Structure formats: C-alpha cells, structure tokens
Amino acid sequence: MGAEAFGAKLLADVDSESLSSILDEFRKSHAEDAIERTLVGIKPIDHALSVLAASGSLRGKPVVEITSPSSADGKTSLLYYAAALAVLPAHLDLELSLGGQGAAVIWLDTDGRFDVLRFKQVMLGIAEESIKTAHCGSGEAETPIDGAVSYSVFEEALRHVHIFRPQSSAALLATLESLPEYILHTQHHSRWRRIHAVIVDSASAFYWQDWREAEISRIPGAREEAEAQLQPSTATGHRAHIHRGIISCLHSLRKRFSCSILYATAGLYPARSPPFKPYLPHPWPIFPTVRFAVRRDPVRPFADGMTVDEAGVDASARQEIVQRVYLQASEESHA
C-alpha cells in the first residue's frame, strides 16, 4: 500500500464534525446555564421563559414583546429594569449580590425618551433591594451604599448601554443593518462583553409616520417624487418591505450574537381588558416568543366637592392602586 493510499485510509477513519455541530453539543451540555441566561430579571417573564426552555419550546434566545392599551402603563420601566440587570455586575464589592449579568445592551430609543437619570435610579433601586434582601432575617442593620463606590459601579454599567435614536422606520432599519459592524469593529467600552439584549422602545413609534407616508404615496405622482428624494440605499425596495427587513435584521442579530430581543408596543386605542389586538404590519404579530400585556387598575376620580382632608383619607389606598401593575402573558409559536 502506497503512502498516499495509507494516508487516505487513516483520514477516512477520522470522525469529522462541523464547528456548528460542536457548538450545538456544547450548548446542549450546558442546558441549565443556557436557561439561566435567557432570564431577563422580571419574575413573570422569567417564569414563562423558564417553562418554555425546560419544555424545549424555546429555540434560541427569546423575543419578548411588552404591550399595553395606552402609554404610561410601565412598559419602559420594565425595559429599564431588564437593561439595568443586564449591565450591572454580579456583585458589588465582592460581598453584595446584585444579580447582574455583566453584559452589554443595545437600546434603540425610537421614542426619544431614554432618561439617563431615571435609569440610574433603577440601578440604585436594584442595589438597595439587594441590600434589604441580604440583611433580611439576619438582624444586622442595613449598610448604606457608599457614594463613591456606587457612582463608579453605576457609571461603568451605564457605559455598556449603547443608545441609538433612529427617527424613522428607514433609519431604524439602517441602524440595525449597521449594528454588526459597530459591535465587532468599533472601539467601544463593551468590546469584551457579550451582548445580552437588543431593546426597541418602541416598535410602534413610527406607526403614524409610516401611515402618513403610505397615504401620501397613494397620491398620483407623489411616490415617484418621494423616492427621487431618498438616498440610494433606502430607495431600493426598502419602503415596500421595510418591516420585513427590520424583523430579518433582529432575527440575524439574535442568532449571530446569541442575544434576546425585547421590545415595547402601545395600543392605538385604550382597551378595557386584554387581549390587545396587534396592529403593526406583518411579520410583527408573529415575531415574539412570548407577548406580555401590561395594564394598571383604573383609579376612581375624586368626587365633585371633595375636600383635601376627605381626599387624604384614602390616599394610601389610591397610591397602592396607582403603583399596581399586572402582567398577562400569551405564548407565541413563532420563535
């Protein structure tokens, strides 16, 4: 047998596998860790995702939609909380457990309302709650957070929230298309951190803007004039399939960076009870793994002629209702 034939025989006896199959086996062998990393830190969402992951219904990282019948129902606050847990470290001063992921977040602020001060307050609230939990039942007095330490920790965490503010659906698509280049080839602070989530607040921000453009495009001659003013990169069929392009980019980011997708939507008109009918164009309605509807209890208005003293009698009960938020989940089968 010649050397060439002998070498071919030896090569045929060697088992070969692709890198993707090796990575799949590795992920399966670390299933519990994978389930843990799908959690976003919001208990009802965590519970639903854990059930889906344990049953094998969750393929890859989750896509979570948080919706409500109107604005000011707490959707952005929930996204703040999830993002804060994503960027905070696991521990503070090697003693206090914060439960953070020590990762990075991409925040697409389509509403233009991201509030840095509010986000810091959320991080501080997480730290204070962790202190209360750590000292609960121990009989020890709660130790206040050192100002210098908390400032440095929160400032460092905030560096890993990458905020983009697209002003239209076309700009949102262009931003999503540019994210891989930004994440992989830009000298940003999160180069050595994984991307935990891509957050869109909100996916319905440009609904009326898109509706107006669609109505204008129906005017004879208006479509040609509008397309002539567009940049070449946005005039190549993106207008007709822009939402498919956005969903496709989000799917690609989710798969490429193994990150979750979280996004908020608001109802067009107030609804007294869920479910809230989705109104975004296809394929948004079939995009989420799980959809959560957020609602608040209605607060009875003050009666005519009520005095300040009378209003103060049930002030605590009214405040409790104002702060109460309900989450209702519906599982989707299009993960």
Quote the CA–CA distance of 283 and 125 in Å, as a whole number: 37
Q: Name the residue with tokens 């047998």.
A: 1
Query: What average pLDDT does the structure give for the chain?
Result: 79
Residue 119 has pLDDT above 90, yes or no: yes
pLDDT per residue as tens digits for the range 195-237: 999 999 999 999 888 888 777 777 776 656 655 555 544 443 4
Amino acid at 126: I
Mean predicted confidence (pLDDT) in 228-249: 66
Q: What is the pTM of this model?
A: 0.78
User: The tokens of 62 are what?
Assistant: 């989750």
Q: What is the pLDDT of residue 237?
A: 44
**CB contact at 8 A, 39 and 260:** no
Q: Is the pLDDT of residue 238 over 70?
A: no
- Check residue 232 and give its pLDDT: 45
Residue 157 in tokens:
């965490």
**Domains, the chain:** 64-134+144-281 (3.40.50)
What pLDDT shows up at residue 112? Answer: 94
Rounded distance, CA 72 to CA 61, Å? 28
One-letter amino acid for residue 233 of the chain: S
d(CA 116, CA 96): 24
Contact yes or no for 140/86 (Cβ under 8 A): no
Write out pLDDT tens, residues 29-48: 554 454 455 578 888 888 88
What are the phi and psi torsion angles at 219 (to 5°)?
-75, 130
- The residue with greater pLDDT, 326 or 60, is 60
pLDDT for the residue numbered 327: 55
Statement: residue 240 has pLDDT above 50: no
